[in-house]
Amino acid sequence: MTSLALIEAAARRLHGHARETPLLNAPLLDAIARRRVFVKAECLQLTGSFKFRGGWSAISALPPEARSRGVLAFSSGNHAQGVALAAQRHGIAAVILMPADAPDVKIDNTRAYGAEVILYDRATEDRDALGATLTARRGLTLVKPYDDPQVIAGQGTIGLEIAAQTRALGITEAAVIACCGGGGLSSGIALALEPHAGFRLHTAEPAGFDDMARSLASGARETNPAATGSLCDAILTPTPGALTFPILRRLAGRGCVVTDDQALQAMSLAFAHLRIVLEPGGAVALAAALFAPDLPDTVIVTASGGNVDPAIFRTALDRFPA
Amino acid sequence: MTSLALIEAAARRLHGHARETPLLNAPLLDAIARRRVFVKAECLQLTGSFKFRGGWSAISALPPEARSRGVLAFSSGNHAQGVALAAQRHGIAAVILMPADAPDVKIDNTRAYGAEVILYDRATEDRDALGATLTARRGLTLVKPYDDPQVIAGQGTIGLEIAAQTRALGITEAAVIACCGGGGLSSGIALALEPHAGFRLHTAEPAGFDDMARSLASGARETNPAATGSLCDAILTPTPGALTFPILRRLAGRGCVVTDDQALQAMSLAFAHLRIVLEPGGAVALAAALFAPDLPDTVIVTASGGNVDPAIFRTALDRFPA
């Protein structure tokens, strides 16, 4: 089970390997939001998203014998790249199972981080069966994207950094908003900040894929009606994680929900005022800070990833000039 | 005269006011450059460029009585915004003289940082005479963009941070490339790194506006044949500074020169692999690290600013897909 102690241990293993990302702000962005907004820029993390932390945490926590046989992940996105680079820097094999119709750039980048990419046909092949065969035959360990205590602990190291960075700024009360797919990032941050009574964690999700917000409201794990249909592809998961949801149910405030257009507008404002590159799914927490009602005067958001198709980035700049 | 002691004093005055910017790198960018490239991301500085450091340094060094009367700057760009915010945060007036044909967004942003913007007609009005009248009548102190010991000291704090950040990474030998207009940034960094024998400072300029590179080669301050004609508008100055050139003549290696297209390509690669937003003038040092021959295995570059017209940014992404 993930605990503050497990997060602190992960932070020690990540030290000198993951980047301590800056907490950015901009007076002109605050003027637009009409509150103080601080942005934890995980788009500046190695591989362009916070997923490197969870990958490193999980791999570094494996017993040496299991680790030496290598790891497996299912992902077409940020988790794939995070696990691939973490494995490469541990000197072990990473096998990433990706759908054959994944964008070439994601396949190429994952391979460039040294991973063996195995493509499968979504329509005719069973991903889980393929994975089970690989783990059995080659002794690989599966690194799940969020429902793993050490992955949650790795993402939670962001919360420890937020605690230290806000302390330096004299901030003691704030809403902390995290982009939310399965809940690994948000549950880890919530645990890390649990000792700080002035901070309350909120999830942020795209409209139509707000399974976590509805689950927090109902008290049970709800599901989304559709699997695709938002630009925020990095954070579309069918339902909250089995490990992450109990943590968030205990610690999180209400979930925030933003539209795709609000996420695009947040990308454009981050371009103009923070000079960082965000992907839509990485911008939903900032969008909530900018556009959601009923937030306190100080809001800290994660900008969780910046691996964006240039065409989508251009759309954000064109449609929402800052 | 700027010295290491003056830079260290400026660093103490900037502490808690300017941002310590991260030193970024990316394995996939290193693969393209075929060397290790570390990027000092000053685009993440307050106001989006390193100019805030020099502005803060100069204002905070003024005698209290002079400071209370306010400051004046001539600039249509990054220096205007840096001086404006530094003055606002000191609680003093800033008057910025800008040409009436400056882009609206730059005028608006400078005003948003609390400055009084006075527009003049480039064709019919004498900027220096206007400035002299203002300083005399209102007791304002002129903050020059580079030829001022305290401005150079402020920019030099970047060199102190590079020294500390590279020490943490175990880097002892590298070329350090700084984007160069009048030479305030590069001369400050050169002085700050003078005690580090393994680091050698190089300037980077756009082709056709390589007055510093030619001056370093000839030993005398050369001038550019034209005043405009490069996308790198932030760093087009007619000739090296009177204070900055002797420092660079003593400490700098040969100057690097890159084309506008190489600067645009560096912007696109920084977008894709570092997830930061650079303006063309802020990308010339990275362009040199990527494309210049005869550099060592480890190169540290300043990414000096990110205040870019979205249309130019789109051009970079369109013409040079990463």
Asked if residue A254 has pLDDT above 90, the reply is: yes
Using pLDDT thresholds of 50, 70 and 90, give the confidence band for residue B106. confident
Question: How far, in Å, CA of A144 to CA of A166, rounded?
Answer: 30
Question: How far, in Å, CA of A7 to CA of B120, rounded?
Answer: 58
Asked if residue B227 has pLDDT above 90, the reply is: no
Question: How far, in Å, CA of B229 to CA of B41, rounded?
Answer: 26
Question: How far, in Å, CA of A187 to CA of A171, rounded?
Answer: 21
Asked if B134 and B117 touch (Cβ cutoff 8 Å), the reply is no
Note the pLDDT tens digit of each residue in A296-305: 999 999 999 9
End-of-domain residue from the set B142, B165, B195: B142
Q: Which of A43, A167, A275 to mutate to test the interface with B (most CBs of B within 10 A)?
A: A275
Beta-carbon separation of A27 and B85 below 8 A? yes
For residue A22, the tally of other CB atoms under 10 A from its CB is: 21
pLDDT (mean) for B290-319: 96
Q: Identify all chain A residues contacting B28, using CB atoms and an 8 Å cutoff.
A: 109, 112-113
Using pLDDT thresholds of 50, 70 and 90, give the confidence band for residue B293. confident
pLDDT more than 90, % of chain A: 90
Of B85, B277, B314, the CB nearest to A277: B277
Beta-carbon separation of B19 and A24 below 8 A? yes
| C-alpha distance from B234 to closest chain A C-alpha (Å) | 16
The answer to whether residues A218 and A232 belong to one domain is: yes
Question: How far, in Å, CA of B165 to CA of B40, rounded?
Answer: 10
- The percent helix, strand, coil of chain A (3-state, each to 5) is 50, 15, 35
Beta-carbon separation of A28 and B317 below 8 A? no
Q: Searching chain A, which residue's CA lies closest to the CA of residue B39?
A: A44
| β-bridge pairing B36-41 and B116-120 | unpaired
| C-alpha distance from A48 to closest chain B C-alpha (Å) | 7
Beta-carbon separation of B24 and A19 below 8 A? yes
Question: Tokens representing B82?
Answer: 């840096």
The answer to whether residues A128 and A73 belong to one domain is: yes
Phi first, then psi: give them for residue A67, nearest 5 degrees. Answer: -60, -40
The answer to whether residues A125 and A160 belong to one domain is: no
DSSP run (H or E) holding B204: strand B199-206
Amino acid type, B91: G
Asked if B281 and B179 touch (Cβ cutoff 8 Å), the reply is yes
- Say which CATH number the domain at B172 has: 3.40.50.1100
Q: Which of B23, B45, B265, B275 to mutate to test the interface with A (most CBs of A within 10 A)?
A: B275
Asked if residue B76 has pLDDT above 90, the reply is: no
For residue A242, the tally of other CB atoms under 10 A from its CB is: 12
Range of the domain at A31: 4-50+148-319
Question: How far, in Å, CA of A297 to CA of A164, rounded?
Answer: 20
Q: Searching chain B, which residue's CA lies closest to the CA of residue A105?
A: B322
Note the pLDDT tens digit of each residue in B228-262: 889 998 888 999 999 999 999 999 999 999 999 99
End-of-domain residue from the set A142, A169, A200: A142
pLDDT more than 70, % of chain A: 100
If you search the block for the tokens 């009084």, which residue do you land on? B116
Q: Distances in Å between the alpha carbon of A315 and those of A114, A144, A190, B306?
A: 32, 32, 33, 19
Q: Distances in Å between the alpha carbon of B31 and those of A78, A91, A111, B37, B202?
A: 20, 18, 13, 10, 22
Question: How far, in Å, CA of B94 to CA of A223, rounded?
Answer: 55
Question: Tokens representing A161?
Answer: 């950094």
Beta-carbon separation of B22 and A43 below 8 A? no
Count how many domains chain B has. Answer: 2
Of A21, A275, A318, the CB nearest to B277: A275
Of B22, B28, B31, the CB nearest to A44: B22
For residue A268, the tally of other CB atoms under 10 A from its CB is: 21
End-of-domain residue from the set A113, A142, A171: A142
| β-bridge pairing B94-99 and B256-258 | unpaired
The mean of the pLDDT values for chain A is 96
Beta-carbon separation of A274 and B22 below 8 A? no
Report the SS3 class of residue B171.
Answer: coil
Per DSSP, B77 falls in state S
Question: How far, in Å, CA of A153 to CA of A131, rounded?
Answer: 24
Using pLDDT thresholds of 50, 70 and 90, give the confidence band for residue A322. confident
pLDDT (mean) for A275-283: 97
pLDDT for res B1: 85
The answer to whether residues B177 and B133 belong to one domain is: no
Of the listed ranges A98-107, A280-289, B51-60, B148-157, the least confidently predicted one is A98-107
The answer to whether residues B170 and B34 belong to one domain is: yes
Phi first, then psi: give them for residue B39, nearest 5 degrees. Answer: -115, 115
| β-bridge pairing B174-179 and B141-142 | unpaired
Question: How far, in Å, CA of A32 to CA of A291, rounded?
Answer: 9
Give residue ranges of B with CB < 8 Å to any A CB. 19, 21-22, 24, 26-28, 31, 41, 43-44, 46, 48, 85, 109, 112-113, 271-278, 306-307, 310, 313-314, 317-318, 321-322
Question: How far, in Å, CA of B243 to CA of B2, rounded?
Answer: 9
Asked if residue A106 has pLDDT above 90, the reply is: no
b/e map of B147-182 (b: 16 or more CB within 10 Å)?
Answer: bbbbbbbbbbbbbbbbbebbeeeebeebbbbbbbbb
**Helices marked H in B170-206:** 184-192
Beta-carbon separation of B22 and A19 below 8 A? yes
Using pLDDT thresholds of 50, 70 and 90, give the confidence band for residue A248. very high
The answer to whether residues A183 and A286 belong to one domain is: yes
Question: How far, in Å, CA of A91 to CA of B142, rounded?
Answer: 57
Query: Which long-range CB contacts under 8 A does A133-137 form with residues at least 24 apart?
Result: A134/A72, A134/A95, A134/A97, A135/A72
Beta-carbon separation of A24 and B44 below 8 A? yes
pLDDT for res A123: 86
For residue B219, the tally of other CB atoms under 10 A from its CB is: 9
pLDDT for res A30: 97
Q: Which of A153, A151, A202, A157 is nearest to A176 (CA)?
A: A202
pLDDT for res B322: 85
Note the pLDDT tens digit of each residue in B117-129: 999 998 899 888 9
Could you report the predicted ipTM of this complex, rounded to two decimals? 0.96
Per DSSP, B254 falls in state P
The answer to whether residues A292 and A154 belong to one domain is: yes
Q: Searching chain B, which residue's CA lies closest to the CA of residue A274?
A: B44
Beta-carbon separation of B21 and A22 below 8 A? yes
The answer to whether residues B77 and B93 belong to one domain is: yes
Asked if residue A234 has pLDDT above 90, the reply is: no
The answer to whether residues A124 and A172 belong to one domain is: no
Question: Tokens representing B283?
Answer: 């990308």
For chain A, state the CA radius of gyration: 18
- Between these two residues, B236 and A174, which has the higher pLDDT value? A174
Give residue ranges of A with CB < 8 Å to any B CB. 19, 21-22, 24, 26-28, 31, 41, 43-44, 46, 48, 85, 109, 112-113, 271-278, 306-307, 310, 313-314, 317-318, 321-322
Asked if A120 and A97 touch (Cβ cutoff 8 Å), the reply is yes
Beta-carbon separation of A22 and B24 below 8 A? no
Question: Tokens representing A55?
Answer: 């990958």
Beta-carbon separation of B271 and A31 below 8 A? no
DSSP code string of A70-133:
-EEEE-SSHHHHHHHHHHHHHT--EEEEEETTS-HHHHHHHHHTT-EEEEE-TTT--HHHHHHH
The answer to whether residues B104 and B176 belong to one domain is: no
The answer to whether residues A33 and A166 belong to one domain is: yes
pLDDT (mean) for B189-209: 97
The answer to whether residues B301 and B185 belong to one domain is: yes
Asked if residue B88 has pLDDT above 90, the reply is: yes
